[in-house]
Amino acid sequence: MFLRNEWYVAGFSREFCERPLQRWVLGEPLALFRTASGRAVILEDRCPHRGAPLSSGEVCGESLTCGYHGFAFGPSGACTHIPGMSTIPPQARVRSYAVIERWGWVFVWMGEADQADESRLPDYHWLNEPGWEGRSEYLPVKANYCYVRDNLLDLTHARYVHRKTLGTSAVTDYPIHTEMHGRGVRVTREMPGIEPSPFFRRMGGFTGPVDHRQQIDFTPPCHVVINTRVTSIVGGSENLSAEFQVLNALTPENERSTHYFWGLMRNFALGDEAVTEMQQKLNRETFFEDLSILEQQQMLLDCKPEGWRPVAIPNDGGCLQAERLMSRLIAAENRS
Amino acid sequence: MFLRNEWYVAGFSREFCERPLQRWVLGEPLALFRTASGRAVILEDRCPHRGAPLSSGEVCGESLTCGYHGFAFGPSGACTHIPGMSTIPPQARVRSYAVIERWGWVFVWMGEADQADESRLPDYHWLNEPGWEGRSEYLPVKANYCYVRDNLLDLTHARYVHRKTLGTSAVTDYPIHTEMHGRGVRVTREMPGIEPSPFFRRMGGFTGPVDHRQQIDFTPPCHVVINTRVTSIVGGSENLSAEFQVLNALTPENERSTHYFWGLMRNFALGDEAVTEMQQKLNRETFFEDLSILEQQQMLLDCKPEGWRPVAIPNDGGCLQAERLMSRLIAAENRS
Amino acid sequence: MFLRNEWYVAGFSREFCERPLQRWVLGEPLALFRTASGRAVILEDRCPHRGAPLSSGEVCGESLTCGYHGFAFGPSGACTHIPGMSTIPPQARVRSYAVIERWGWVFVWMGEADQADESRLPDYHWLNEPGWEGRSEYLPVKANYCYVRDNLLDLTHARYVHRKTLGTSAVTDYPIHTEMHGRGVRVTREMPGIEPSPFFRRMGGFTGPVDHRQQIDFTPPCHVVINTRVTSIVGGSENLSAEFQVLNALTPENERSTHYFWGLMRNFALGDEAVTEMQQKLNRETFFEDLSILEQQQMLLDCKPEGWRPVAIPNDGGCLQAERLMSRLIAAENRS
């Protein structure tokens, strides 16, 4: 079950254009498009006439015209035109979703549009904050979004899954600290005086020992921001310190599939496109390493024996708090 | 649910040959073949011995020999030979279907063979009528046959789906007339003095304004014959008038898949193979445009929210009458 | 339903190595690997920590380390190491399966490991018996293992399915003899003075008439050993007699998929690698001919009409006895 009264990332701004796009979110078909006046709009992608996909049609002015028999629908979801008819039956409408476009990402409120609460918008402001540089990408994952969330909330996996990039044995040598923070859960790990990981060695030019801090913020329903900061504790390195914000929006396509939108922003080597290319490439490869684990995990837990319960250890603190928090929120939403 | 006591198209005559063919109709496996004496035969494609496909075997004289252990079955479905046995157990038989081969198409009666009623055979006589010329083709569609039927009964979709070929805005400017006709439903649309569509421009050489009539006959369970006639109302066109019979047999493979057999016959440019090639190519491309809409429609209606009901407009008249007629017939068949 | 308290072939010895392998047996995920000391081990391939596949990790000494967060498990299934922890929770363990490695094949006991009964190990000793020569191969079959078993217990199919290789019409001219033998079922067919099949003609150089005996031993749950012996009854042939042991282990992957491990051993032309190549190639091609029949059989019996019952003839004697035996054993196991 999903939380409905929350913001999910529906796509990047660049995906909302004159040519409509179909994307399924929480098991519902959405038509994404941009009107002639530049407004990003999301409508239910199922024409009330015959059930055809509106996204097979085209944008005309402020409306989306169905590609089957030409019914047109405005941003409110109301039908604005039916070919050959002068009056429009009032039931000719589709659901319209509340949308906020910000920082180059487009967020959709999956509950009733008139209850959309902008104050609950997750914070991804680094995406266009001066002093931060990087790019956004998309990765489809054939696994439940919670498995992706837990992957990000327990970074000890880097030592095993990402041995060649992010891996450092220090990740399992230092404990995490878990706490409730804002509306969500924060996990922090301080690793003082360790050898820099291959990633930081390559990206930041760190050679000698560093202080490395990881801080992971989970905000319901599916937003994870990882701040990872490395500070040189001896001279001779190219940078004194370097910081990344890894931005992760895990939008459920359905119960067993996730739209993974990620951004990677750094606060050094600004203006250096070659560094941007390299960081994106390394991160992309890193996420591909997670993919097969996550998809197998889905398959193995789909057929787990009755009574199977995961064995928890302290490093799972963030995952467990996130899970409990989500259970409470979903139960509360279903009660109301 | 399907109507059983009706004729469906099982295949083209050219598909019934010495090499047997498996085809599923109404969710049942059929073995199609032609005996040595030239008879088109359809048997249940599941050997009563071990459940192997008879169609994996070969035709020997008037029988089909199973490809697994050599049981042979004649046109009646009775076993005619079991290797190594002199007597044949009476329960060694498969179901035999009543078959009529006509006009180059082969029709199968899906009810009990002894109740097959030739008077209910749908009329596709244009397929080999002197004065008509064209060809038959096959297209598999991953959608319920009713979605294909409704596609053909409401040709206003041509303006949107087939903009580059059949499309003409007139199709939504003139209303349809719907009536019960024979055993089925007839939809007629007269479009006087309109610009010819790109298809007729190209196929019939029409340049100036034309009278264009569409007449669509649906006959249960799944037969749609479209007569479309264009008549020049000024001089100078290559033809004074031109007519097509678009023949459509929508045989359900199962609940979500259709064998679409179609023929396209014209009454002009007879003997001109280049025109035949062109009309087949244009029509084939046209049907491909429908495919993705139909398959998406299936997917979107598969997961429609509870209580979802299509919004009907006058252009749906033919679809709605066809649907009601089929519901009545299916209910009656299930009662009897 | 499957028999659990029996030995199944899990793989070839050569598949157990430092790089772990995932294989599903009876619907359960197994991690196959070989420890540093050379022991073949099979563990449940689902980490108790988060459900990740252990087989995504690597072998370290006597343990298998999970590829996600580094939990390590020894041959007993007990966790031997958790990164960052000094104590190990007792529930951190996976199921360990009893294993016997013999003749180059590895057998797994799918019941409780402490009840593994070596006396029930099926006999495939020809695999490394002096005087016998050949090789083992693997074929995945998308059909229930019982359909493969019945294929092997009724070799009359050779005449139809394997016309070009094993086929001889004699196979349907001579009856079989069926009897209980050891823990299983034995089917024998004697074919005196027949023309040699293309396979024996080519493999053994038989030209004139031969006595051909087939003896098929089925041992529960899924083991079939076929002894096929040809003896020349006139002079002039290259060999006086030739014998094959066709070894077949049909391990269920799940209800509709089978791991088919087979070995083909001969007692003549020893040391001639070209003959080995040829026998393997011919047998491989022969099994490919069975594949499509078996997979269609699965599909056709999946949707058989209610009340459908196979028609049995004397040649099914072995299949029917095997089926009854298995039913009894499964019922008995479920009672206990």
pLDDT tens-digit series, residues C120-136: 999 999 999 999 999 99
Q: How far apart are CA B149 and CA B161, in angstroms?
A: 16
Q: How far is B114 from chain A (nearest CA, A)?
A: 39
Given its phi and psi angles, is residue A28 left (phi above 0), alpha (psi -120 to 50 degrees) or beta? beta
Helical spans, DSSP H, in B72-185: 145-153, 158-161, 170-173
* Element containing residue C212 per DSSP (H, E): strand C210-219
Tell me the shortest Cα–Cα distance from C157 to chain B, in angstroms: 5
The span from the CA of B106 to the CA of B123, in Å, is 13
The encoded tokens of residue C34 equal: 């070989």
* A51·B157 Cβ contact <8 A: no
pLDDT score of A228: 93
Q: Provide the token pair at B90.
A: 């009476």
DSSP code string of A57-94? SEEETTEEE-TTT--EE-TTSBEEE-TT-SS--TT-B-
Tell me whether C68 touches chain A (CB under 8 Å): yes
Strand, helix or coil at B259? Answer: strand
Residue A66 and residue A99 in contact, taking contact as beta carbons nearer than 8 Å: no
Give burial (CB, 10 Å; 0-12/13-18/19+) of C226. Answer: buried
Inform me whether the pLDDT recorded for C204 exceeds 90: no
pLDDT above 70 for B127:
yes
Q: Of A51-60, B135-144, B307-316, C170-179, where does mean pLDDT reach its minimum?
A: C170-179
Q: What is the pLDDT of residue A186?
A: 98
Residue C222, helix vs strand vs coil: coil
Of B292, B49, B249, B258, residue with least CA distance to B162:
B292
pLDDT of residue B39: 98
Is pLDDT above 80 for B289? yes
- Rounded to whole angstroms, how far apart are CA atoms C263 and C260? 10
User: Three-class SS of residue C73?
Assistant: strand
- Closest CA–CA distance from residue B175 to any residue of chain A (Å): 8
Widest CA span in chain A: 77
Picking from B46, B69, B92, the nearest residue to C304 by CB comes out as B46
Q: Name chain C contacts of A300, Cβ cutoff 8 Å.
A: 29, 45-46, 51-53
* Chain A: partners with 3+ C-beta pairs within 8 Å: B, C
Give, for C323, the enclosing helix (H) or strand (E): helix C317-335
List the single residue in B57, B82, B84 with the smallest CB-CB distance to C160: B57
Among B67, B68, B83, beta carbon nearest to C172: B83
Cβ-defined contact of B69 to C160 (cutoff 8 Å):
yes
Short-list A134, A116, A111, CA closest to A334: A111
Chains that touch C (3 or more CB pairs under 8 A): A, B
Determine which helix (DSSP H) or strand (DSSP E) holds C179, and give its type and residue range: strand C177-181
CA distance A179 to C215: 71
Q: Which residue of B has its CA nearest to A50?
A: B310
Q: Give the residue on A whose Cα is nearest the Cα of C88.
A: A313
- Interatomic CA distance for residues A41 and A38, integer angstroms: 9
Taking the CA of residue A293 and the nearest CA in chain C, the distance in Å comes to: 6
Name the residue with higher pLDDT: A97 or B286: A97
Contact A311 C69 (CB under 8 A): no
Residue of chain C with shortest Cα separation from A308: C48
Quote the CA–CA distance of C190 and C103 in Å, as a whole number.
Answer: 30
> If pLDDT is split at 50, 70 and 90, which confidence band does A331 have?
very high
Give residue B238's pLDDT: 64
Q: Provide the pLDDT for residue A173.
A: 82
pLDDT at C140: 98
> Model confidence at A191, in pLDDT bands (50, 70, 90)?
very high
Contact A89, B311 (CB under 8 A): yes
User: What homologous superfamily does CATH list for B132-335?
Assistant: Naphthalene 1,2-dioxygenase Alpha Subunit; Chain A, domain 1 (3.90.380.10)
- Tokens for C77, please give them: 């299934």
pLDDT tens digits, C104-118: 999 999 999 999 999
**Cβ <8 Å between B48 and C172:** no
Report yes or no: B104 and B14 within 8 Å, Cβ to Cβ. yes
Q: Which chains touch B (3 or more CB pairs under 8 A)?
A: A, C
Residues of chain B neighbouring A78 (CB-CB closer than 8 A): none
| Residue for token pair 């599909």 | C299
How many angstroms separate the Cα of A160 from the Cα of each of A156, A169, C44, C66? 8, 9, 20, 8
pLDDT digits (tens, 9 = 90+) for A100-111: 999 999 999 999
CB of B208 within 8 Å of a chain C CB? The answer is no
| Amino acid in the structure at residue C38 | G
What is the C-alpha to C-alpha distance for residues B245 and B143, in angstroms, rounded to an integer?
Answer: 24
Residues in chain C within 8 Å Cβ distance of B70: 156, 159-160, 172
Judge contact between B82 and B93, C-beta under 8 A.
no
* Strand order through the sheet with A105-109: A7-12, A105-109, A98-102
Are A183 and A117 in contact by the 8 Å Cβ rule? The answer is no
What is the fold of A125-303+310-335?
A: Naphthalene 1,2-dioxygenase Alpha Subunit; Chain A, domain 1 (3.90.380)
Q: Where exactly are the structural domains of chain A?
A: 7-120, 125-303+310-335
Confidence band for A28, pLDDT divided at 50, 70 and 90: very high
Is it true that domain C126-335 has CATH number 3.40.190.10? no
Contact at CB, B311 and A68, closer than 8 angstroms: no
pLDDT band for position B201 (50/70/90)?
Answer: confident
| A313 contacts C50? CB cut-off 8 A | no
Mutate to test the interface with B, among A46, A47, A55 (most CBs of B within 10 A): A46
pLDDT of residue C156: 86
Note the pLDDT of residue A237: 65
Contact B293, A52 (CB under 8 A): yes
How far apart are the C-alpha atoms of B93 and B78, rounded to whole Å? Answer: 4
Q: Is the CB of B292 less than 8 angstroms away from the CB of A56?
A: yes
**Residue-level pLDDT at C180:** 96
Q: Which of the following CATH numbers is that of domain C7-120: 1.20.1740.10, 2.40.70.10, 2.102.10.10, 3.30.43.10?
A: 2.102.10.10
Contact yes or no for A51/A29 (Cβ under 8 A):
no
Model confidence at A309: pLDDT above 90: yes
In the chain, the amino acid numbered C256 is R
Residue of A nearest to C91 (CA): A311
Q: Average pLDDT for residues C10-39, to the nearest whole number? A: 98
Average pLDDT value over all residues in chain C: 94
CA distance A188 to chain B (A): 42
Question: Which residues have C-beta within 8 Å of that of residue A272, sequence separation ≥ 6?
Answer: none
Q: B163, B300, B309: which to substitute to probe chain A, counting the most A Cβ within 10 Å?
A: B300
B-contacting residues of A 37-66, CB under 8 Å? 45-46, 48-53, 56-57, 65-66
Touching A: B residues 168-197, CB under 8 Å:
172-173, 175
Across the range B85-110, mean pLDDT stands at 97
Tell me the HSE value of C110 on the side-chain side, using a 13 A CA sphere.
22
Does A159 score more than 90 pLDDT? no
Residue B102 reports pLDDT greater than 70: yes
SS3 (DSSP) at C302: helix
Tell me whether residue B174 is exposed, middle or buried, using C-beta atoms within 10 angstroms of its C-beta: 0 to 12, 13 to 18, 19 or more. Answer: middle
Chains A, B: CB pairs < 8 Å: 73
Which one of B52, B65, B69 has the shortest CB-CB distance to C296?
B52
CA dihedral sign of residues C3, C6, C9, C10: positive
Closest CB to B83 among C156, C301, C304: C156
Give the pLDDT band of residue C36 (cuts 50, 70, 90): very high
Residue A291 pLDDT greater than 80, yes or no: yes
**Closest residue of A to C82, CA-based?**
A313
Residues 81-110 of C with CB under 8 A from A: 82-85, 89, 91-92
DSSP secondary structure, A93-161, as one string: B--B-EEEEETTEEEEE-S-GGG--GGG----GGGG-TT-EEEEEEEEESS-HHHHHHHHH-GGGHHHH
Alpha helices by DSSP H, chain B: 145-153, 158-161, 170-173, 198-204, 273-302, 317-335
Q: Which residue has the higher pLDDT, A165 or A331?
A: A331
* Residue in the structure block whose two tokens are 């059983």: B4
Considering chain A, what is the average pLDDT of its residues? 94
Whether A112 has its CB under 8 Å from any CB of chain B: the answer is no
pLDDT band per the 50, 70, 90 thresholds, residue B115:
very high
Hey, are the CB atoms on B85 and C314 less than 8 Å from each other? Answer: yes
Rounded distance, CA C131 to CA C245, Å? 12
* Residue C218 exposed, middle or buried by CB count within 10 Å (0-12, 13-18, 19+): buried
Task: Tell whether the model's pLDDT for residue A84 goes beyond 80.
Answer: yes
Model confidence at C237, in pLDDT bands (50, 70, 90)?
low
User: From the CB of residue B271, how many other CB atoms can be counted at a distance below 10 Å?
Assistant: 7
Supply the pLDDT for residue B159: 78
Q: What is the pLDDT of residue B165?
A: 67
Q: Mean pLDDT over residues B147-152, rounded?
A: 97
Residue B155 pLDDT = 85
A115 touches chain C (CB under 8 A): no
Report how far residue A124's alpha carbon sits from residue A109's, in angstroms, rounded to the nearest whole number: 16
**pLDDT tens across C271-309, in order?**
999 999 999 998 999 899 999 999 999 999 999 999 999
Find where tokens 């010895």 sit. Answer: C13
Q: A89, B150: Cβ pair inside 8 Å?
A: no
Q: Which residues of A touch C20 (CB under 8 A)?
A: none
pLDDT at C103 over 90: yes
CA distance C69 to C82: 8
Tell me: ipTM over 0.85: yes
Least CA distance to A79: which residue of chain B? Answer: B311
Identity at B84, one-letter amino acid code: G
Q: Which pLDDT value is given to residue C171?
A: 72
pLDDT of residue B167: 64
- Specify the residue for token string 């988060």: C50
Interface contact B303, partner A, CB < 8 A: yes
**pLDDT for residue C120:** 97
The amino acid that residue B285 corresponds to is: E
Topology agreement, domain B7-120 and domain B132-335: no
Asked if the Cβ–Cβ distance from A293 to C27 is below 8 Å, we say no
Average pLDDT over residues B30-53: 98
Nearest to C67 among A156, A161, A316 (CB): A161
Whether the Cβ atoms of residue C279 and residue C304 lie closer than 8 Å to each other: no
Secondary structure (3-state) at C93? strand
pLDDT, residue C213, reads 94
Alpha carbon distance B31, B35 (integer Å) = 12
Nearest residue of A to residue B301, measured between CA atoms: A51
Residues of B in contact with C289 (CB under 8 A): none
Share of chain A above pLDDT 90, in %: 84
Mean pLDDT for A301-306 is: 95
Q: Is A76 on the interface with C (CB under 8 A)?
A: no
Ranking A12-16, A224-228, B122-126, C205-209 by mean pLDDT, the lowest is C205-209
Determine the average pLDDT of the residues in A301-320: 95
